[in-house]
Amino acid sequence: MRPATDAIQIRDLSVSYSVVADRPNAGRRTSLVRSTERRLIHALNGVSFDVAAGQVMALIGGNGAGKSTLLKTIVGVLKPVGGQIDLYGRPHLLAPGMGFNRRLSGRENVVLGGLAGGMSLDEVREKQDQIIEFADIGGFIDMPTTTYSSGMFGRLAFAVATHIDTEILLIDEALSAGDAGFRERAVAKVQEMCRAAKTIVVVSHSSTMVAEMATHAVWLHQGQVRRTGELGDVAEEYAAFQAAGGETAQMDRSIADR
């Protein structure tokens, strides 16, 4: 049964996938001959935690810890091999390039991104001017997004995602886009959504930005939950762990699938 305050419940979640990688040089007779092997990556292993409705939860951890994999699994892009996710609201994943077509103009991508996020065509038309104004990229809005800098592209993607009427917003490294002025508006927009009881899970390597938005955190290490709790406490322990040289890469958890 769902507790009245929860928007996300995750229980014993595990995600694995296989990749094809080059064999180490030691296994080759000559460097000109390429030899590959299939490896199984255990991206998440027995992950469990809850996110309360209206809460901003930060996912922290090193590269390969499983943060992006977790967001993609929550929204249904990836399928778990075990465990359960219960969502009490419609989720939307904001990740760089998600739902956009680089060959189209910014204005066309506003429509495409809105429709991909579950908006009706009438809703997109109603909010289009607000989205374009928020992105604030000037005349580039009618140019192909192949001409955009990464910051401009991120601004437009963030503007679209935060104007979609969704109960659960998942943000993957999208808040680093743009200059300081835009980041300030982005944080203010997230806080506005929280006041409207929107639930947000955010991944960002900017500790300053996370501190301005999130109140709680989940620390992932090698696909497992190391600690959950209030942001300050979790971030402090994670910083000490990094300083002690405890961070290692996800590939340490891979095994050869022969």
Residue 254 makes CB contacts below 8 A (sequence gap 6+) with 39, 40, 41, 42
Tally Cβ neighbours within 10 Å of residue 82: 13
pLDDT of residue 165: 84
Domain membership of residue 107 (yes or no) is no
Domain membership of residue 111 (yes or no) is no
- For residue 21 the two structure tokens come to 């990688």
Cα–Cα distance, 91 to 89 (Å, whole number): 6
Domain membership of residue 121 (yes or no) is no
- Averaged pLDDT, 206-217: 82
pLDDT in tens, 76-87: 989 999 999 999
Cα–Cα distance, 107 to 25 (Å, whole number): 49
Domain membership of residue 194 (yes or no) is yes
Domain membership of residue 48 (yes or no) is yes
pLDDT at 26 over 80: no
Query: Lowest-pLDDT range, 23-32, 105-114, 239-248?
Result: 23-32
- Its sign, for the CA torsion 117, 119, 124, 127, is negative
Cα–Cα distance, 99 to 183 (Å, whole number): 22
Query: Lowest-pLDDT range, 49-53, 195-199, 229-233?
Result: 195-199
- Averaged pLDDT, 37-64: 91
CA distances (Å), origin 218, targets 49, 151, 155, 161, 230: 8, 27, 26, 23, 9
Domain membership of residue 130 (yes or no) is no
- Averaged pLDDT, 28-41: 70
pLDDT category at 30 given cuts 50, 70, 90 is low
Residue 215 is classified by DSSP as S
- Give residue 14's domain range: 6-89+167-256
pLDDT in tens, 90-148: 888 877 667 789 899 999 999 999 998 888 999 999 999 999 999 999 999 999 999 99
pLDDT category at 255 given cuts 50, 70, 90 is very low
- Averaged pLDDT, 223-237: 94
pLDDT of residue 39: 80
Q: Quote the strand ranges of the chain, DSSP E.
A: 6-22, 36-52, 56-60, 82-87, 91-94, 168-172, 199-203, 216-221, 224-230, 255-256
Domain membership of residue 32 (yes or no) is yes
Query: Lowest-pLDDT range, 59-63, 131-135, 251-255?
Result: 251-255
Q: Is 74 helix (H, G, I), strand (E, B) or coil?
A: helix
pLDDT of residue 1: 46
Does this model's pTM top 0.75? My answer is: yes
pLDDT at 244 over 60: yes
Report the run of H or E that residue 258 belongs to, with start and end.
none
CA distances (Å), origin 198, targets 44, 152, 155, 190: 26, 25, 20, 9
Q: What is the mean pLDDT of the chain?
A: 84
pLDDT in tens, 172-211: 876 655 577 788 888 888 878 877 778 999 987 777 778 8
pLDDT at 71 over 70: yes
How many independent structural domains does the chain possess?
1
Residue 76 makes CB contacts below 8 A (sequence gap 6+) with 91
pLDDT of residue 104: 95
CATH code (residue 213) = 3.40.50.300
Domain membership of residue 209 (yes or no) is yes
